[in-house]
Amino acid sequence: MSEKKQERVGVYVCHCGSNIAGTVDVEGLTKWSEEKLKHQGVIVARDYKFMCSSLGQELIEKDIKELGLTRVVVAACSPHLHEKTFRTAAKNAGLNPYLCELASIREQVSWVHTDKAVATEKAKAVVAGAVSRVIENVPLEEIKVPINPNTLVVGGGIAGIQAALEIANAGLHVYLVEREPSIGGHMAQFDKTFPTLDCSACILTPRMVEAGTHPNITLLTWSEVVNVAGYVGSFNVTIKKKARFVKEDLCTGCGICEEKCPKKVIDEVFEAGLGYRKAVYTPFAQAVPKFPVMDKENCTYFIKGTCKACEKFCPTGAIDFNQQDELINIEVGNIILATGYDLFDARRVSNYGYGRLPNVFTSLEFERLSNAAGPTNGEIVLRDGKTTPKSVGIIHCVGSRDKNFNNYCSVICCMQGLKFAHLVHERTGATVYNFYIDMRTAYKAYDEFYQRVLEEGTLFVRGKVAEVTNAARYEHEKGKLIIQTEDTLAGKQRRIPVDMVILSSGLQPRYDAKEVGKMFGISCSTDGWFTEKHPKLDPVATMTEGIYIAGCAQGPKDIPSSVAQGAAASARVLNKILQKEVALEPIKASVDQDLCSGCRICNGLCPFNAISFLEDRMVTEINPALCQGCGTCVAACPAGAIHGTGFSDEQIMAQIDGLLFRNLQPVEA
């Protein structure tokens, strides 16, 4: 260590206007750095109003050139904001960018402390730590990797379709993977869309057809991603294409198999349990692709070994009972996750009686009920299938904004409840009550829709519904569902008898969102939604390079926002592809094989399979392409044979000493 050549360090203290200078004595800090850290190699320390301004950067560049600085410390804001700015400045002046460190004296000092003397003292420690650390920094080179121009979009709802189309229309190839037999997602189940009351299918199906026939889109429905390996630029993805038992190259989508199939099954997915489908089926008439799938669990042939009616009647011989699940491997450069949401299970709010009281419906059930292509051909009737309700209660915030279930607002439920109110009013003339906590109708033309529903005569009761019951107390309540609620505007309890109750259920993350996130290497928030890189400035990127998110997978949102995010994610992907290569941070672990004793302690630590053991030489090797740079193996190696660039033992030890002012005196020989 003592042989080490003395570095020439420059310390630059930013005032950040009064953001730092208001709480930290920046001049004092500068002077202190120049005097007390001199033996460490600090030859110059300067303060400036805004270091990030071009004049501030020029100041640093000038010193690097004229004073021959070999290390730079900028005491300013968080490295997550301006590390790149100052490293680029260093690079422009001919210094390796990784020889420049940021000391965060704004986020970690001036903004969180009030006493100037105390804050200044802490700032000195932070700067001393950074100076000690930067001396141990070594020049690094960014790792450039080529970007595979193909993209994977997971989820064929409106957000995924939009993302896939944007990229495909730019002339690049997309794999669109969907778990269900058809793309379309939740939007395909809806009847009308708020606030314009566009028919959902009418605006969605042209997009579905476009995605299904686009020469640049490989559509993989009834398929799931089962494994993801690699990193930005070159992901290797394994997709399981489940057996359809229908040969796609022969099937014409004529629908004869479905017609002839003798087995009726309750459709729990598309029809929300209100209607039937066959054992071989396409979920809805406009399904894309047109090929049906066979439901092995319910098919008479798979259960009893006889039937094969579909095979007999298929005019092209497309039925194949021996078809097997297939694993497909694809190479892509970027991935967009648009995996959507699950509807909150209204059974969990047991006091609202869903599942127990027949005429309590969920929002998705009502969507199917009011859909002209649904099980009742669009007639709004009670569970008996024939009686038209004379009064309907719509309960908002079911499972949302509720400490017992989900704390968050599900965003769409207010507008959805208003849409239901309008449809019930229009089609049945029934009296409609909306029970809401707060009416949230932000965004374009939404509040106008609320006004319209108000004018139509829908009754609004502000308060959280306590209970839905069929236990009548009075004569006029008999045979009805009674909604017991607090009316916070009238300041009293009310009992309102109705024929039908619709629960405007909230949205929640997919039941398997955590596992999916894990597979793609991204995290979920405490609520379970995928976490974006920045809540405001980077809503569709994630902390993992090359993985983007769009639509409800990121959080509850309506159709316009989902579409916007799908398009935004595709713009990010196109930007990456056009750059042709991506620069990766050179933070990697490597093994000094002369020091490796072959103990294999590190072998089981890497979740990215970057560590492998060379049996012939009895040493461990790390694949830099797979290494993500977490440093867990570096910390584990008992021989100190694993070195981690960017965060080496030397750098961290030196920073500890610096932070504790251990380096204020020259070390005696």
Partner 1 sequence: MTDNFEPTIIGFTCNWCSYRAADLAGTARMKYAPNVRLIRMMCSGRLDPTFVLRALSNGADGVMITGCHPGECHYLEQNYKALRRYLLLQRVLKGLGIEPGRVKLVWASAAEGARFASETTLFVEEIRKLGPLNWGKPIEELESLQEEISKLEEVPA
Give the interface with partner 1 as residue ranges (CB under 8 A).
78-80, 104, 106-109, 111-115, 118-119, 121-122, 125-126, 129, 514, 518, 521, 523-526, 531, 543-544, 587, 605, 607-608, 628-632, 634-636, 644, 646-647, 649, 652-653, 655-657, 659-662
Minimum distance from residue 522 beta carbon to partner 1 (Å): 9
Structure token digits, residue 419? 């849409």
Structure token digits, residue 161? 């379709």
* Cα(533)–Cα(338) distance, integer angstroms: 16
Residues 6+ positions from 540 with CB-CB distance below 8 Å: 532, 548, 549, 550, 554, 565, 568, 569, 572
Per DSSP, helices labelled H in 15-115 are 26-36, 54-67, 79-92
Structure token digits, residue 484? 């017991």
Q: At what angle do helices 158-169 and 200-213 cross, to 10 degrees?
A: 40
Residue 617: alpha-carbon gap to chain centroid? 43
**109 with 123: CB under 8 angstroms?**
yes
Q: Phi and psi of 642, rounded to 5°?
A: -100, 130
Minimum distance from residue 108 beta carbon to partner 1 (Å): 6
Minimum distance from residue 110 beta carbon to partner 1 (Å): 8
Minimum distance from residue 130 beta carbon to partner 1 (Å): 10
- Between 113 and 290, name the residue whose CB sits nearer to partner 1: 113
- Between 109 and 204, name the residue whose CB sits nearer to partner 1: 109
**Which residue(s) pair with 48 in the sheet?**
14
The 10 Å Cβ neighbour count of residue 12 is 27
* Cα(258)–Cα(596) distance, integer angstroms: 64
**Amino acid code (one letter) for 100:** C
- Chain position carrying tokens 């017991």: 484
The 10 Å Cβ neighbour count of residue 246 is 21
- The Cβ-side half-sphere exposure at 427, using a 13 Å CA radius, reads 19
CA distances, 365 to each of 222, 343, 376, 435, 516 (Å): 23, 11, 11, 19, 27
- Between 463 and 521, name the residue whose CB sits nearer to partner 1: 521
**Amino acid code (one letter) for 597:** S
- Between 434 and 542, name the residue whose CB sits nearer to partner 1: 542
Structure token digits, residue 90? 């260093």
- Between 150 and 628, name the residue whose CB sits nearer to partner 1: 628
Per DSSP, helices labelled H in 137-225 are 158-169, 200-213
* Cα(365)–Cα(353) distance, integer angstroms: 15
Minimum distance from residue 525 beta carbon to partner 1 (Å): 7
**Which residue(s) pair with 433 in the sheet?**
393, 459
- Between 350 and 523, name the residue whose CB sits nearer to partner 1: 523
**Amino acid code (one letter) for 569:** A
Minimum distance from residue 443 beta carbon to partner 1 (Å): 24
* Cα(307)–Cα(295) distance, integer angstroms: 14
- Between 349 and 547, name the residue whose CB sits nearer to partner 1: 547
Minimum distance from residue 109 beta carbon to partner 1 (Å): 8
Minimum distance from residue 28 beta carbon to partner 1 (Å): 16
- Between 138 and 660, name the residue whose CB sits nearer to partner 1: 660
Task: Tell me the three state secondary structure of residue 76.
Answer: strand
Task: Tell me the three state secondary structure of residue 370.
Answer: helix
- Between 405 and 661, name the residue whose CB sits nearer to partner 1: 661
- Between 254 and 635, name the residue whose CB sits nearer to partner 1: 635
Structure token digits, residue 183? 């793309």
**Amino acid code (one letter) for 218:** T
Q: β-pairing, 275-278 with 264-267?
A: antiparallel
Angle at 294 between CA 291 and CA 300, to 5 degrees: 145
- Between 534 and 580, name the residue whose CB sits nearer to partner 1: 534
DSSP letters, 522-545, are: --B-TTSSBPPSBTTTBSSB-SST
- Between 108 and 388, name the residue whose CB sits nearer to partner 1: 108
Minimum distance from residue 518 beta carbon to partner 1 (Å): 6
Minimum distance from residue 115 beta carbon to partner 1 (Å): 7
Minimum distance from residue 653 beta carbon to partner 1 (Å): 6
- Between 439 and 630, name the residue whose CB sits nearer to partner 1: 630
Minimum distance from residue 336 beta carbon to partner 1 (Å): 19
Minimum distance from residue 625 beta carbon to partner 1 (Å): 16
Residues 6+ positions from 662 with CB-CB distance below 8 Å: none
**132 with 663: CB under 8 angstroms?**
yes
- The Cβ-side half-sphere exposure at 237, using a 13 Å CA radius, reads 31
- Between 170 and 636, name the residue whose CB sits nearer to partner 1: 636
Minimum distance from residue 292 beta carbon to partner 1 (Å): 38
